[in-house]
Amino acid sequence: MKTCIQTDKAPAAVGPYSQAVTISSPGATAYVSGQIPLDPQTGEMVTGGIEAQTRQVLENLKAVVQACGSDLDLVLKVNIYLTDMNHFAVVNAIYGEYFTDHPPARACVEVTALPKGADVEMEAVAFCPGKDV
């Protein structure tokens, strides 16, 4: 079972994420590599700015998590990398559409550059309840 941890002894989450997440159940953990906004059909970067890039990254992340035998509601931790922190509000809003109830723990940092000139990349840790430990 996934449990979101909230304590008033640390700063409250300032977006759609939890301070920490625990999991207790037989199963496996998937460490999902960073996903950038490549269209899986063409292998090309999507066009349409940070909004389109963020949606594609989250769709790619979702597909890999599902291939692991999990789903977004069992993602425990996400790391977000942005090339421009001015994109944070847009990315955060779209991220919140994908992680609505019991969002995972999260970090978001600005980086100098990402592969293929992407503006956003996300990696995740997910619980896979149907997998052997």
Region 50-71 average pLDDT = 93
99-127: per-residue pLDDT in tens?
998 899 999 999 999 999 999 999 999 99
Q: What is the pTM of this model?
A: 0.86
The CATH number of the domain holding residue 21 is 3.30.1330.40
* 133 domain-assigned: no
Rounded CA-CA distance 28/5 in Å is 20
Rounded to the nearest integer, the mean pLDDT of the chain is 89
Q: Can you give the residue range of the structural domain that contains 71?
A: 2-128
Residue 82 burial class via C-beta count within 10 angstroms: exposed 0-12, middle 13-18, buried 19 and up: buried
* 14 domain-assigned: yes
Active site residues: 108
pLDDT at 20: 66
Q: Provide DSSP, 3-59.
A: EEE--TTSPPPSSS-BSEEEE-SS-EEEEEEEE-SB-TTT-SBP-SHHHHHHHHHHH
pLDDT at 133: 47
Per-residue confidence band for 131, with pLDDT thresholds at 50, 70 and 90? low
Indicate the number of domains in the chain.
Answer: 1
Region 28-37 average pLDDT = 89
Distance of CA 56 to the CA centre of its chain: 12
